[in-house]
Amino acid sequence: MRKDLLNIKGLSDQKVDKIIEAARKSSEAGFVTCKQLLHKMKNRFQISTGAAKLDQMLGGGMESCSITELFGEFRCGKTQVCHSLAVMAQLPPNMGGANGKVVYIDTEGTFRPERIRQIAEGKGVSAEIAMDNIVYARCYTSDHLEGLLLEAASLMVNDEDRFALLIVDSIMGGFRVDYSGRGELADRQQKLARVMSKLQKVSEEFNVAVVLTNQVMADPGGGCAFMPSHPKPVGGHILAHFSTTRIMLRKGRAEQRIAKIYDSPCLPESESVFEIFAGGVRNSSSD
């Protein structure tokens, strides 16, 4: 942003204008035809979740150059899906993957390397290689998250191997530490917008799939005595606008989970039932 560049010592208005103009020319940030856009989109790919019917509902899986948000109450399977995706992304395309490495940012302390080992063994791939291909960071604050996203971008630029997936589990974890109460809501949303903008740029610049998890909160004004309201995702309009596809997860019977398209620019509203098992996620056995 222009105001951020102006805060850097030694950069005058004229220098900042030249930097912005050079960036615009190099990034091709102008108009293109619909046909040219379609040609650029041919490089996009989908990462399978491991459950074929869930992939079908998602139009093939988690799409690159976009942000997919998984939200729901605790124990609804958000982190389990993320663990499964972290392994699936490394598989070849004929197995539902993208032959790419994974960046995993954990704000809740729920990441488990032993779970990666278990899922990798279930897929018949080397657990050691699968764990080596996941770059992990424990995140504690929203400022820390911003720094980690910059570090992730530098890894994607410098690393010889290609990255396919960036996971943040969960996106609002650090913000709950830094901001509390309605008095700080505006500041929180401004910081959240900056973080989401960075995630969007990373997804498009490096052609990676970005997957976020999110919690829910009760909506006291959204229901009545006869029709109780469903919990809604936290993060407000900022998170809603930046997320390309929003998926609501809820618990079913035993290890069954239900995924529902909550919002998408191209996918119809639908539901899919899947199961969590030792090898990740799979189609429900009752289907």
Residue 144 domain flag: yes
Q: Is the pLDDT of residue 194 over 70?
A: yes
At 14, the pLDDT band (50, 70, 90 cuts) reads confident
Residue 278 lies in a domain: yes
Please indicate, yes or no, if residue 2 is contained in any of the structural domains: no
| Partners of 251 in the β-ladder | 257
Nearest to 80 by CA among 123, 55, 108, 49: 49
> Could you tell me the CATH number of the domain that includes residue 52?
3.40.50.300
Residue 212 lies in a domain: yes
For residue 121, tell me if it sits in a domain. yes
Q: Which phi and psi angles does 38 have, rounded to 5°?
A: -60, -40
Mean pLDDT, residues 113-128 taken together: 96
At residue 256, does pLDDT exceed 70?
A: yes
Please choose, from the candidates 205, 197, 240, the residue with its C-alpha nearest in 3D space to the C-alpha of residue 65.
205
Residue 183's pLDDT band, with cuts at 50, 70 and 90, is confident
Q: Specify the residue for token string 């589990």.
A: 169
Structure tokens at 141: 């604050």
Residue 37 lies in a domain: no
Q: In this structure, which amino acid lies at residue 239?
A: L
Question: DSSP letters along 55-100, please?
Answer: HHHTTSSEETTEEEEEE-STTSSHHHHHHHHHHHTTS-GGGT--S-
Buried/exposed code over 30-48 (b: 16+ C-beta within 10 A; e: otherwise): eeeeeeeeeeeeeeebbbb
Higher pLDDT, 27 or 252: 252
Find the domain containing 245 and state its range: 45-283
User: 1-5, 18-22, 90-94: which range is least confident on average?
Assistant: 1-5
Q: What is the mean pLDDT of residues 174-201?
A: 91
Residue reference for tokens 């993208």: 98
* Tokens 């309009």 -> residue: 237
When divided into structural domains, the chain yields a total of 1
Among candidate residues 51, 110, 1, 96, the one with its CA nearest the CA of residue 247 = 51
CA distance 38 to 25: 21
Residue 200 lies in a domain: yes
What is the structure's pLDDT at 226?
A: 57
Q: pTM score, two decimals? A: 0.88
Q: Is 213 domain-assigned?
A: yes
Two tokens, residue 280: 């990740």
Residue 225 clears pLDDT 60, i.e. is over it: no
Q: Give SS3 for 136.
A: strand
| Number of Cβ atoms within 10 Å of the Cβ of 194 | 16
For residue 234, give the DSSP letter: S
